Structure 1
Amino acid sequence: MALKVGRGAAAPPFLVMDVIAAANARAAALPPGAPGVIRMEVGQPGTGAPRGAAEAAIRALQVGAPMGYTEAFGLASLRARIAGHYAAKYGVAVPASRIAVTVGASGAFPLAFLAAFDVGDRVAMAAPFYPPYANILTALGMVPQLLPCDASTRFQPTIAMLEKLDPLPAGLIVASPCNPAGTMLAPEELRGIADWCGRNGVRLVSDEIYHGLSYGSVAESTAAAFSDSAIVVNSFSKYFSMTGWRIGWLVLPEDLVRPVECLAQNMFISAPHVAQVAAEAAFDCTEELEANKARYARARAALLAGLPAAGFDRIAQADGAFYLWCDIGHLTNDSLDFCARMLEGAGIAATPGVDFERDRGARFLRFSYCGPEADMMAAPGRLREWLGR
């Protein structure tokens, strides 16, 4: 008799992880002295944790600190530091009691979704989108509702799109800067969306993990400034360059504080203690982190200047994060195959657009430019040679 397989077993793959594996295999197969693989597939900074963060962890281990469980919502000192960050950066008073330290942003999403939504609830989001939004919702029995966006709206949702939804969704996820397009909502746009959600009983979930990484004229703003009912997700992975430390946070509305705490107690107990110590120290590493950002800005400028000559001349307005979302419909209608051939022929790993949108994504790919600066500078030349430009 066949055994039952749960709903979660049907979750689609996060394709970028498959690309990582393929790029690793390609790099391992290269002969000695051959040019290496340029890694542009994953949003992982080429820099590690800032020195001050690593040193704080080392000191804690050297003195023999127990590093046991913390409270489910994290160290009180770290939560206070995050609250201070909102006051200093955004001028927003967020009490530490509404902040939950999580196992990365990836651990924050299921906590937020389970607390805010029920099985069968529809949650809207712009398409293209960060794949785990939809995959986690689906695994939890919720229904992603996609809002097809394009360059005309800078790949961001609009109130006009939301007003056409009938019936209204239970929730809306926004991301600014967003993944994969790197575009941002201006403060007045985020405020308008937050107000619309408040008037219509739609729970707003604002993904702000790329805050700190913006390059254009659009100012960063937090949904916490515009709504007391919104859920804000952030992380130490991107601006703070601490991907493997697995530390994120939630800013919660009052009605979800205890529900999320109970879920966190049961699902995760707490985020890693030593990583929380390092994260708290990372707030004192601004000079190093801003130097990292300057590297990304130089790589971004070089790619925006060099990619068009290689044939990648249809690029989304890249306000922030560290991604370029390229329309390659004039080169292929199969981005999965194109990225596989690009890895083999040019030695460049990129993420096919189908990871971010199954249908229209076949004509897009995403380049990440947070890797080693020299690699980013070399990428356009490799692509020109491969495509015979």
Structure 2
Amino acid sequence: MAMDVLRDAKALERAGRSIIHLELGEPGVAAPRRVREAAAESLRDGSIGYGEALGDAPLRARIARHYGERYGVDVTPDRVIVTTGSSGGFLLAFLAAFDPGARIAVTAPGYPAYANILSALGLEPVLLDVGEETRFAPTAAMLEAAHRARKLHGALFMSPANPTGAMIARDELARICAFCDEAEIILVSDEIYHGLEYEMRAETALRFSQRALVINSFSKYYAMTGWRLGWLVAPAELMRPLERLQQSLAICAPTLSQRAALAAFDAGDELEANRAAYARNRALLLDRLPKLGLDNFAPPDGAFYIYADISRFTDDSIGFCRRMLHEAGVATTPGLDFDPRRGAKTLRLSYAGPEADVREGVARLEAWLRR
């Protein structure tokens, strides 16, 4: 639905309307300068052919090194596969790890593409409702209860999460990993928003489990959405199946993007400046939204989202967001995109854009809500 909102917003802009975009989870900045320079150098070199299915060796080695530098976790390059964004990583992981009919636990609210991809592959998404009682994060006890009710084959969790921004606490993540290992549930940990944390540090599932499949991307923290590049860290026994799937489905991740991404790990100053800008936008929304009556939202620990309860205004989030777009010129995403059972009373706002846009968006919302 976020993409549908974007389509409608773009149509209004083409008609001459001024629209503030708070709907998309996309950094409002360009890829780091070092990345763009590395890409330009590769283009001047002119040799942009097929690469290895598992990814370019220098990039795989640098990703592996990243786990030691950031988390103090030892990962060897032979466990890393470079993918066409995190989306490509999910396809490879699901196909390699699960047989048709497997039941995979996912959270609601949660990233809608999870259930869509699982269903398209003949897998069954099992929705675990998370809310205020667990700070909108899954727990080991919740997972265990679902498994006892009917056997689970996998679990797919994101921390920090989309749409809520909520994070799984370190100790709880350890318990989840331990239960999954004990119950032979394959855990897929989506860590795409790592690096975008504000009050506590995100932890990788690889600290607690060597059986977990960990997916990350250059899209969010590294601001490289359109470069379509991510990675997957997997157990050794899955690497050959993953390689064969990659050979068949994509041949390789984009060569130009891989060469450029190698420079992203040396762009820390620019990337941290971006994170500081998101933090300012976050602080602005945390201050202003409660004054507009949007005072009940998930804990925005990380990422760049506010997932707000709008039940005092409506029980139709789709219609509410449509009216907001057409009447106030502010694009947001209805909660039904993320939670088919309870999302009619919620919406997601993204604060990944420029600070001036976020300020203007809040001003327009205030005027619209107080009409």
TM-score for both structures, normalised by structure 1: 0.94
Secondary structure at the counterpart of residue 180 of structure 1: coil
**Which residue, 121, 125, 133 being the options, matches 2:114?**
133
Stretch of structure 1 that moved more, 234-243 or 149-158: 149-158
Q: CA deviation at 1:311?
A: 2.0
Q: Which residue of 1 aligns with 2:131?
A: 150
Q: Which residue of 2 aligns with 1:212?
A: 195
Stretch of structure 1 that moved more, 15-24 or 234-243: 15-24
State the Cα deviation string for residues 296-335 of structure 1 (Å, max 9, x = none).
Answer: 0000000111111122111111000000000111110000
Q: CA deviation at 1:219?
A: 2.0
Aligned runs of 1:227-306 on 2, under 5 Å? 227-306=209-288
Structure 1: distance between partners of 2:140 and 2:5: 35
Matched, 1:86 2:67: yes
- AA aligned to 2:158 is A
Q: Is the 8 A contact 1:236 1:248 kept in 2?
A: yes
Q: Which residue of 2 aligns with 1:109?
A: 90
Structure 2: distance between partners of 1:183 and 1:101: 27
- AA aligned to 2:297 is I
State the Cα deviation string for residues 150-207 of structure 1 (Å, max 9, x = none).
Answer: 1111111112212212222100011100000000011111111000000001000000
Q: CA deviation at 1:357?
A: 1.0
State the Cα deviation string for residues 347-372 of structure 1 (Å, max 9, x = none).
Answer: 11011000001120000100000011
Matched, 1:312 2:298: no
**Which residue, 126, 129, 140 being the options, matches 1:159?**
140
- AA aligned to 1:191 is A
Structure 1: distance between partners of 2:269 and 2:145: 46
Matched, 1:193 2:179: no
Matched, 1:16 2:2: yes
Q: Which residue of 2 aligns with 1:202?
A: 185
Matched, 1:338 2:320: yes
Matched, 1:26 2:17: no
Structure 2: distance between partners of 1:129 and 1:314: 18
Structure 1: distance between partners of 2:105 and 2:186: 10
Q: Which residue of 1 aligns with 2:163?
A: 180
Q: Is the 8 A contact 1:123 1:144 kept in 2?
A: yes
Structure 2: distance between partners of 1:337 and 1:357: 16
Structure 2: distance between partners of 1:309 and 1:345: 20
Q: CA deviation at 1:148?
A: 0.8
Q: CA deviation at 1:27?
A: 1.3
TM-score for both structures, normalised by structure 2: 0.98
State the Cα deviation string for residues 126-149 of structure 1 (Å, max 9, x = none).
Answer: 111101110000000000000011
Q: CA deviation at 1:123?
A: 0.2
Structure 2: distance between partners of 1:224 and 1:268: 26
Secondary structure at the counterpart of residue 324 of structure 1: strand
Stretch of structure 1 that moved more, 186-195 or 235-244: 186-195
Structure 2: distance between partners of 1:95 and 1:294: 31
Q: Is the 8 A contact 1:72 1:271 kept in 2?
A: yes
Q: Is the 8 A contact 1:310 1:381 kept in 2?
A: no
Q: Is the 8 A contact 1:176 1:207 kept in 2?
A: yes
Secondary structure at the counterpart of residue 220 of structure 1: coil
Runs of 5+ in structure 1 lacking a partner? 1-14
Q: CA deviation at 1:63?
A: 2.3
Secondary structure at the counterpart of residue 266 of structure 2: coil
**Which residue, 214, 226, 232 being the options, matches 2:208?**
226
Structure 1: distance between partners of 2:169 and 2:139: 12
Secondary structure at the counterpart of residue 232 of structure 2: strand
Q: CA deviation at 1:29?
A: 1.3
State the Cα deviation string for residues 50-106 of structure 1 (Å, max 9, x = none).
Answer: 000000010111122x11011011110000000110000000010000000000001
Aligned runs of 1:15-94 on 2, under 5 Å? 15-30=1-16, 36-64=18-46, 66-94=47-75
**Which residue, 324, 336, 351 being the options, matches 2:333?**
351
Q: Is the 8 A contact 1:110 1:136 kept in 2?
A: yes
Moved over 3 A (4+): none
Structure 2: distance between partners of 1:241 and 1:23: 22
Secondary structure at the counterpart of residue 164 of structure 1: helix
Structure 2: distance between partners of 1:181 and 1:289: 22
Structure 2: distance between partners of 1:294 and 1:19: 27
Q: Which residue of 2 aligns with 1:375?
A: 357
Matched, 1:327 2:309: yes
Structure 1: distance between partners of 2:370 and 2:201: 39
Structure 1: distance between partners of 2:216 and 2:342: 28
State how many pairs are aligned: 369
Stretch of structure 1 that moved more, 202-211 or 155-164: 155-164
Q: Which residue of 2 aligns with 1:12?
A: none
